[in-house]
Amino acid sequence: MRSLILLLALAFVSQSGFAADPGIPAFSVETGDNGAQTYTLTLQIVMLMTLITMLPAALMMLTAFTRIIIVLSILRQAIGLMQAPSSQVLIGLALFLTFFIMAPVFQQIYDDSVLPYIEEKIEMPEAFEKAQGPIREFMMAQTRETDLDMFAKISGNKGIEGPESIPFSLLIPSFITSELKTAFQIGFLIYIPFLVIDLVVASVLMAMGMMMLSPMMISLPFKIMLFVLVDGWALIMGTLASSFYI
Query: What are the average pLDDT values for consecutive 10-residue runs of the chain, which has 246 residues?
Result: 42 40 47 51 64 72 87 87 82 90 88 80 77 85 86 75 74 89 90 86 79 75 85 87 80
User: Which of 189, 180, 175 has the alpha carbon at shortest distance from 58?
Assistant: 175
Separation CA 50–CA 192 (nearest Å): 44
pLDDT at residue 159, as a whole number: 64
| Distance in angstroms (rounded) separating the CA atoms of residues 227 and 84 | 14
What number of other Cβ atoms are within 10 A of residue 58's Cβ?
A: 13
Q: How many CB atoms lie within 10 A of CB 110?
A: 14
Name the region of 120 (left: φ>0; alpha: ψ -120 to 50; beta: rest). left
- Kindly report the CA angle at 34 between 31 and 36, in degrees rounded to 5? 45
Cα dist. 207→26, 30, 80 in Å? 79, 82, 23
**What's the rounded Cα separation, in Å, for the pair 240 and 70?**
11
Pairing of strands 37-39, 29-31: antiparallel
**Given this model, what pLDDT does residue 11 score?**
40
Q: Are 143 and 171 in contact (CB under 8 A)?
A: yes
The SS3 of residue 127 is helix
Give, to the nearest 10 degrees, the angle between helix 232-242 and helix 87-109: 30
What gap in Å lies between CA 186 and CA 142, rounded to an integer? 14
Measured between alpha carbons, how far is 149 from 134 in angstroms, rounded to an integer?
A: 22
Written as one letter, the residue type at 198 is D
Residue 24, pLDDT score:
45
pLDDT for res 184: 92
Q: SS3 breakdown of the chain: % helix, strand, coil, rounded to 5?
A: 75, 0, 20
From its phi and psi, is residue 9 left (phi > 0), alpha (psi between -120 and 50) or beta?
alpha
What's the confidence (pLDDT) of residue 140?
Answer: 86
